[in-house]
A and B are shown apart, each in its own frame.
Chain A
């Protein structure tokens, strides 16, 4: 029997870190003038790219860095399942937190993640 809690905690941490990266990139993208500015689309695009990268990174991190007990196939499969669920949690948490942040921090940039108005 192995504890899967740390796996989920690390997944949550991954979601937080990648959300932070998405926020930094969004703020770095400058407002564009004119009738058809591209900057809101760029922020949205980066948000989703980082959602995918974050999830994959979380998955790979779990697969390549965790210790797998060689002689306990049940524990091993439990851990791999937890890594898979963790990646799902990472993705879901990233999206949920991103949505909450986008709805609450209306600074015009992070807001673009979900409220894509020109």
Chain B
């Protein structure tokens, strides 16, 4: 399978966190030579998880962008290097101004006779409370209402095509419709509001929007993650429900029930079965993680900037579901196929291994442990974990000692961007020297037991992190390039290998700009040390 363009959609808070995981897989170099078009679809524009994934994609694109050709935003797809995929971001949000409810949106709040029939019709399907809650923070687990509104928001964009967001969405949809074999993967949960409402209707809405715009039918292949309950939060109290527009609030105590009902729907619904090719069922067999823990929340956070939850391993599993979908050679069945895979779990203690996440375990090990090692050494060996510090000059200085001056002209902002990405990926230090967990730490913290790398790889004190042996991360004997050595000696081995790899960059595949070559040289160094095969198309 050598799809050049891939389409990935994140919907709702969970969808955004899955997207975050997906972007980190891109940073590891899991999607060589791919141009990935990402759409964020959320009703809640102020959502903390949404803004976090936007910032992450922006940072990724800053790293990829050409420093020579300023118009070349996001760079180009590369191969066998970190940050190999090119990402294009499209944002779309149904426009629900603060305080807007269904009655106002559907224009059935007037009391004249002409709208009475419509109001009666709406009341047949939607309770009074569902029609009158504030839509700004999403669909609040009211999926029957949410599906209708999301469908109309998408089709409405095709009709109106006025705002920049509507135009961008239509360009995204038309681009998918251009070729028959385009693949679209959707991230979202099935137990919440926006994602659960949208997953069933997005393929149909895209198809109808494309037909309205171009007179063509959508022939792209759709896949989605069906994430069932894995988190909970403070349940709403009666005081909160009494407030205007707050009579309906997603209550996490119903998430199990919601999940069960949703899975029955996905198993039987003819539209879903006809429009999707692969559906990945992702569950969580132990107690849901409490997103309200240690936050002192008196009320349910329905959305907004405060909804900025840490990432969870199920979201990483979803990102790997997308990987599987993208690299599936061909789809044989005309109807949706359902996929699941088990991970060893004994009394709530997991044993996650690379083979549990991907069939391309060797390549994954190389890229996953590779980015971890490079990030770790940039932050510790080059002492750049503190806020505002950068560790790329350290690598450039090292390269200079091996008579390689090609990286000399890398600007400070590029160095800061790459270092900042490593901090987001792994960890950073605050002013008092305490660890701020990065994405990978958050994923590890979300489950008990083994998670891919040795437990010592996730030490939570800087003095311990400095002692992590990057050369002993992987279980394979041939990959233990620092066996029996300490962290400082490993850094020496890496530094020497890095210097020796100075002419190893294939500029056609790995990029010819100073920034791309530096990243590629780091990739080549760790790949050579780990002695693992690379993933190829």
Binding site for B on A (CB under 8 A): 30-31, 33-35, 37, 40, 106-109, 111-112, 115, 117-118
Contact = CB atoms under 8 A, between A and B. Distances in A.
Contacts of B401: 31, 40, 108-109, 111-112, 117-118
Contacts of A34: 381-384, 391, 393-394
A107 B377 CA distance: 21
Interface stretch (B114-122, B137-145, B488-496): B488-496
B492 A30 contact: yes
Contacts of A35: 382, 390, 393-394, 397
Given A33-B383, A34-B382, A108 B397 contact: no
Contacts of B377: 33
A37 B399 CA distance: 13
Given A31-B491, A33-B383, A108-B402, A117 B397 contact: yes
Interface string B364-400: 0000000000000100111110000011011001101
A117 B400 contact: yes
Contact of A118 (B383, B397, B403): B397
Contacts of B402: 106-108, 111
B75 interface: no
B499 A108 contact: yes
A6 B488 CA distance: 46
Contacts of A37: 394, 397
Contacts of A107: 402, 496, 499
A111 B400 CA distance: 10
Contact of B403 (A31, A33, A106, A109): A106
B492 A108 contact: no
14 contacts: A30-B492, A31-B495, A33-B382, A34-B383, A34-B384, A34-B391, A34-B394, A37-B397, A40-B401, A107-B499, A111-B401, A111-B403, A115-B403, A117-B401
B382 A108 contact: no
Given A40-B401, A108-B401, A117-B400, A33 B499 contact: no
Contacts of A118: 397, 400-401
B424 to A, nearest CB: 20
B488 A30 contact: yes
Nearest to A112: B401
Which interface residue of A31, A34, A109, A112 has the most chain B CB atoms within 10 A? A31
B285 to A, nearest CB: 42
Q: Would you list the 4 A-B pairs with minimal beta carbon distance, nearest first?
A: A33-B381, A108-B401, A33-B382, A117-B400
Contacts of B380: 33
Say what secondary structure dominates the interface of chain B: helix
A77 B382 CA distance: 57
A74 to B, nearest CB: 52
Contacts, number: 56
A111 B402 CA distance: 8
Nearest to A37: B397
A33 B184 CA distance: 43
A21 B488 CA distance: 24
Contacts of B397: 35, 37, 117-118
A31 B383 CA distance: 13
Contacts of A109: 401
Which interface residue of A108, A109, A112 has the most chain B CB atoms within 10 A? A108
B391 A108 contact: no
A37 to B, nearest CB: 6
B231 to A, nearest CB: 39
Contacts of A112: 401
Interface in B464-510: 488, 491-492, 495-496, 499
Nearest to B494: A31
Interface string B389-420: 01101100110111100000000000000000
B398 A108 contact: yes
Given A33-B398, A35-B394, A117-B400, 9 more contacts: A33-B382, A33-B491, A34-B384, A34-B391, A108-B401, A108-B402, A108-B495, A108-B496, A118-B400
Given A107-B499, A108-B496, A108-B499, A33 B400 contact: no
A15 B393 CA distance: 36
Contacts of B381: 33-34
Contacts of A111: 401-403
A33 to B, nearest CB: 4
Nearest to B378: A33
A28 to B, nearest CB: 11
Nearest to A39: B401
Given A37-B394, A108-B499, A117-B397, A31 B492 contact: yes
Contacts of A31: 398, 401, 491-492, 495-496
A69 to B, nearest CB: 51
A117 B495 CA distance: 15
A104 to B, nearest CB: 11
Which interface residue of B381, B383, B401 has the most chain A CB atoms within 10 A? B401
A107 B397 CA distance: 14
A6 B129 CA distance: 106
Given A111-B402, A112-B401, A33 B394 contact: yes
Nearest to B488: A30
Interface in B81-124: none
A107 B403 CA distance: 9
A24 B397 CA distance: 22
B72 to A, nearest CB: 28
A31 B497 CA distance: 12
A77 B400 CA distance: 49
A33 B381 CA distance: 5
A115 B391 CA distance: 23
A106 B401 CA distance: 8
A22 to B, nearest CB: 17
Contacts of B390: 35
A75 B495 CA distance: 55
Nearest to B495: A31
Nearest to A31: B495
